[in-house]
Structures are given as C-alpha cells and as structure tokens.
Structure 1
Amino acid sequence: MLFEAYMQLVKAFPDDCEHLFGIPIGVGSRLWLSVDQHLYPSLLFPADASDERSDIALRFIDVEFSRTCQVATEDAAPVSGTYTIVRLNEDDPEIARVFLRLLQEKFCQADRPLRNREIGDRMLEIADLFSRIENARGDVVGLWGELYIISKAASMQGAARSWCFHKSARHDFVTPSFALEVKTTLKGNRQHRFSLEQLRPGSVLDVYVASLQVVETHAGKTVSQLLEMMYEEIEDPELRIAFFNQCLIKGGRDIYRSDLRLQPLVGDDALALFDARDIPVPHIGPADPISNIRFDVDLSQAQQIERDIRKVLLAFGDDC
C-alpha cells in the first residue's frame, strides 16, 4: 500500500514544489505519506508541540519530533500542522519498498494516535533491522527453498509459525514433535553442507532433512515474487511482519534486486526428505577437543523417508 502510494507521489511531484508533497493515509487518514525535493519518502504523524523528545539521526533514517511543517497536495491547498517526521534518506526504490513495508506494518494499523516515545521506540526497532539487513550475508537460493517449503505446506500458517526466526537456531523449522532442515541446490546431485549439531543435535527431537533441487529458468519465480505471494496470504499481522523480517535477514539487502528465477526440477523427484539419523556424520569422540564441525554429504543415493511420514512433515499442522 505505502510503496505504491509513494511511487504515485514520485510521478506526480510538482516541479516548483518547495514543501513536502503528500497524501493522507492510515486509519482515519491521520497520517501523511510524503516526498521531498530529493524524492525521499517520509511518514508524518500528528504531534503535540509539547511532546518533546530528542531527534533520531541514523545512517538511513531520520526522525524529527514535533515539527511545524507544511504539506502540499495535488488537489487541495497545502496542509500545515505539527508533525513527527520519519524520513528515509534514500530514493532507491527497492530500499524504499522495504522501508515503507516496515512502516506499514508498524504504524498504519494503529487505531489511536501515538506519542513520540512510542514512535521513537518502534523506529529504533526498524533501524536495528536495517542494520542487520545491511550486514547480512544474503543466501537467495537457500531462502528460495525455505519459502518453497512453506508455500507447499498443507498449512502455510503452521509452516510460517514453525520457521525459526532466531539467528542462532540450528534448524530452519521446529515444531513440537520434529525439526526440519532445508537444503537447496542448483547442482545435479544432492550434495549439501551440514554442521554436526544439525544432524546429531543431542536431543530427543526427531530431525529431518529436506533436499530440494532447483534449476534456473525464465519460467521460474524470483525470491521476491515468492515472498510477496506468501506475504499477502498470511492473515495474522504479527506473524506476517515476523515472516517479512526473516526474509529480509536471510535474503540480505538485495533480496528485491535478485533476478534469479528458480523452479524445482520437473517431476516428483525435486524434493526428497531424509531422516537425519540415516545420514552419515564424522565420528568425534566426547573427549576430542574439536568443535564447529562442517562437512559435505551427497544424499543422492540415501534412503528417503516413507510417504506417510513425508505427508505429516509437510503438513505443519496440529497433528505433526
């Protein structure tokens, strides 16, 4: 919603405009989405002049509290008032898309005016996420595979809830009864890299591995296309924003720039599931001073799990 409105403002920005140029949005049209002469997007919140707070100035984001400003509009007289201004200091459309999506989830559903402290706290959370995205080692192929698993689950909501959002998680998906690690490859065989803890976690939880073989093709989907399709289908607002944040962190800052179009290998053989206990691992004795073990395993000839177990795993439902 916000990104589409922002692009319309960019197209309609008057040549002689010396003010912010915007439109009212949100519940009761209390908020304003605007652009300035640099075409930087801003979100304006009605504010009380007495609600004082120190401004926030970060690498990409500025927050100016309780400012008197004027907003020009396309069809009416300029609007003047006291507003808190949240601005992205960047006109790159893909960065703006991410920024405005985060603002949309954080602020546009609010059913009451927000105080400056609440706005500032939420913006610091967004700024922290931006920092994590900036420093993330994006894995577009790996993210594509995990999104594919979620999209094909009998319960997409259940799969999304089982997706591990913590950066130190050993496995991609964890349910009350099992963990699932997803490995995606463009190779002709099923060779994947594992950590010892992924396959032998030392817990009572059953661990399974999903091996997905994909190919690059013009008929395939980019990771951003998969993301957007699934984002629209998740109804729970908290789950939706957690899902979106996870995609950004795993995909990195160029998630919307990637034009890599993938699809599973044709037929039923693209996705194979294995019991982690059946996958060989290096033997390390309990007294050996060795840690952080990584190794490659070719699962091309490994025994796959039975179909009824596979069906239960990919359901991600209450019965799993």
Structure 2
Amino acid sequence: MDIKQIINEFRSLESTTHKDNTYNVISLFDMLHKLGASKERYPMFFIATNDAPNNIPNTIRELLSVEYDMECTINEVSGNSILRKFAIITLRSSDKHLQSYFIEIFAMMLMKMPQQPSKQELSIEVERLVAIFSALSATPRKKIQGLWAELLVIERSLDPQTLINAWHSIPSSKYDFTLGRDKIEVKSTSSEERVHQFSLDQLNPSPSSRLLIASITVRESGQDLNGLSIRDLYDRICNRLQNIEAQIRLYTIIAQTLGNDINKIDAVCFDYITASDTLAFYDYQMIPRILKKDVPSNISEVRFVCNITKLKDITTSNSFDKNDSQLFNSLF
C-alpha cells in the first residue's frame, strides 16, 4: 500500500461516527499503528507506543494535538476490534491539502521509528511535525520559481542524497547548498539570456571556499509529461532515495519555503525540458563581480545584475578540478 492509497482509504472513513471512544481505522502498511477520522472528519493517527514509563506531556497547538495513553477501541476494516491505549495525533483541519500533507509526512516519520516507539522517541518526531505545520501557516520565504530551480538541480544530480544533506535549512541562507568549504548557488531566469542578480557577499566567499553558480532557464508551462510541478520533482527525487530521513528533510524544506503557499506544490508547473537543457554550472571566479575591497565601508546591502550568457559552462571543459569535492561530484 502506498501513501496515495492510504489517503484514499482515509477519505472513506470520513463519514464514520464514533461513540464511547470507538473509532473506525485503516491499517498502515504492516505497522501496529492505525489511521482514523474524528467526528469532525479530522485525520487521527493511533500510535502503539511501548510501555516504558515516561511523563511526556500532551501537546496542543493551533493545528495539531498529541495525547498520550488514551484508551479507546478501534475497529479495523477487517472487522477486528482492539481495546488498548494509544498516543493519538490529530490534525485539526478540514483542509484536504493539509490533511494529505499531514498523512504523508507523518507516515514517513513512522517508517523510520521502531515498531513500538517509546513516548520519548515519538515526542521527538512530534516536535518536527509541529515545526513543519507551523511553517505552513507562515508567509512564503522564496518565490516558487526559485524553489523549483533548486529541486531541478537535485533531481538532475548524480547523488541527490548528498545535495539534500547540503541543502539550506533556512531559505534566506547566503548559498543554496553548502558542504564544508564547497558551495552552490542556484540562479534562475525566464529570459533568453542568463541575466542574474547577485548580492555582494554571494560572489565574495571566504578565500578557501569553492563556489559554483548553477544557472537555469525556468519558464511556466501547462501540466503534462514535460510540464512539472514542485510535487512532480519531489516524487522523482524520492524515487531515487533509499533513506527515509532524506525524504523527510526534503519535504520539510519545501514546506518551510512555501509556507502558506503550500497548495501551489502541484498547481504551478514549469518546462522541465528547457530547464534541463539549459542547466549549466559556472566557477564564480569567472563571473564579473564587485570586490568587497572596492566598496566604501559605509555602504551595505550591495546587489548587482550580471549577464553570464557568454561564459563557459564548466561541465563542458576539464579545467575545473572537483576530484576531492563530495558536493561537486554529486552534481555531474
């Protein structure tokens, strides 16, 4: 059973009614945990924790509630009924998009936990879940085109897991990908030429740093085999990942970046073929720039636009040495 099937089965539980703490539920893969719906039609995870004593307090947030040691009866689709204590995690929202995200992300979290996690282990994942859903009520941190471009770099790479590990956890970071002294900054444009805006700091890294600029032409498209959304790129990347933790990190950064624009995850599409064909990488030292030493000390927030169309893509030459760089070797 995949996540989409679980979500579809959850929808069929929406019309169920409960009495005396009795709930109709569906199974989650081969786990002991279950998924049900409240009388308000909110999704509820019933988590079978172990009996290790731990005084973890309940968590009540605007959208999420977590209640430990709640005794209830669950009725499975097979007709089997179980009376026991569960930790119950509820998303208090009728928004179907949010419900789907909640089910998907927490199902992934459950996959990496022990079969019967302790309350302490569960509470750690709950805090991550709270952080994600807090981000979904915030304003977007980046334009959707910029996020799509960064995901394309990951999707086209040789080793997406390395890039996900290096991806910024804060969208306002100076560089999009950082691994030790090696950095990648992604720039996108919808114009015919590679005209990009840079901050003074971006093209003046520390002396021992190595920096590549990824340049991509990104244009909106209708949805088809080659018109892909952020969701489409996410799915493609996840199909190449073996590590659940990397999938969760990928989803978390997307959520933090889109904020309350999360519904655009599958609503806005861009031309995948043009973007892939135009993806190029440039050594920052070859890009015309303003040096920090040339800027008066009382001037700050310097930004400038540079046309790099006629510069040489380093992937077409052997002059760029990336042999000892895990980050750059993950690209091409």
Q: TM-score range by the shorter chain?
A: 0.7 to 0.9
Aligned residue type for 1:79: I
What is the rounded CA distance, in whole Å, between the counterparts of 2:99 and 2:331 in structure 1?
Answer: 41
Q: Look up the match of 2:45.
A: 43
Q: Look up the match of 2:305.
A: 296
Q: Is 1:191–2:200 an aligned residue pair?
A: no
Kindly report which structure 2 residues correspond to 1:59-138, keeping only aligned pairs within 5 A, or say none.
59-135=62-138, 136-138=140-142
Q: Identity percentage over the alignment? A: 20
- Range with greater deviation from structure 2 (288-297 or 34-43): 288-297
The total of aligned residue pairs comes to: 319
Q: Is 1:31–2:33 an aligned residue pair?
A: yes
Change (3 A) 1:307 1:176: farther
1:255-296 CA-partner distances (Å, limit 9, x unpaired): 443422112564986223322223233455476123332222
SS at match of 2:46: strand
Q: Is 1:272–2:280 an aligned residue pair?
A: yes
Contact kept, 8 Å, 2:33 with 2:46, in 1: the verdict is: yes
Q: Name structure 2 gaps, 5 residues minimum.
A: none
Contact kept, 8 Å, 1:159 with 1:316, in 2: the verdict is: no
What is the rounded CA distance, in whole Å, between the counterparts of 2:210 and 2:104 in structure 1?
Answer: 37
Q: Name structure 1 gaps, 5 residues minimum.
A: none
Q: Is 1:241–2:243 an aligned residue pair?
A: no
Q: Look up the match of 2:161.
A: 157
- Range with greater deviation from structure 2 (95-104 or 144-153): 95-104
Change (3 A) 1:49 1:34: farther
Aligned residue type for 1:182: V
User: 1:87: Cα distance to partner?
Assistant: 0.7
Q: Is 1:209–2:213 an aligned residue pair?
A: yes
What is the rounded CA distance, in whole Å, between the counterparts of 1:4 and 1:314 in structure 2?
Answer: 37
SS at match of 2:89: strand
User: 1:50: Cα distance to partner?
Assistant: 6.9
Normalising by structure 1, report the TM-score. Answer: 0.85
Contact kept, 8 Å, 1:43 with 1:85, in 2: the verdict is: yes
Change (3 A) 1:190 1:242: same
Change (3 A) 1:300 1:250: same
Q: Look up the match of 1:254.
A: 261
User: 1:184: Cα distance to partner?
Assistant: 1.2
Contact kept, 8 Å, 2:142 with 2:171, in 1: the verdict is: no
User: 1:82: Cα distance to partner?
Assistant: 1.3
SS at match of 1:233: coil
Change (3 A) 1:83 1:3: farther
SS at match of 1:37: coil
Contact kept, 8 Å, 1:61 with 1:87, in 2: the verdict is: yes
Contact kept, 8 Å, 1:213 with 1:265, in 2: the verdict is: no
Change (3 A) 1:74 1:172: same
Change (3 A) 1:163 1:287: same
Aligned residue type for 2:178: V
- Measured on the aligned residues, the alpha-carbon RMSD in Å equals 3.2
User: 1:124: Cα distance to partner?
Assistant: 1.7
Q: Look up the match of 1:11.
A: 12
What is the rounded CA distance, in whole Å, between the counterparts of 2:40 and 2:239 in structure 1?
Answer: 31
Change (3 A) 1:149 1:196: same
Q: Look up the match of 1:317.
A: 329
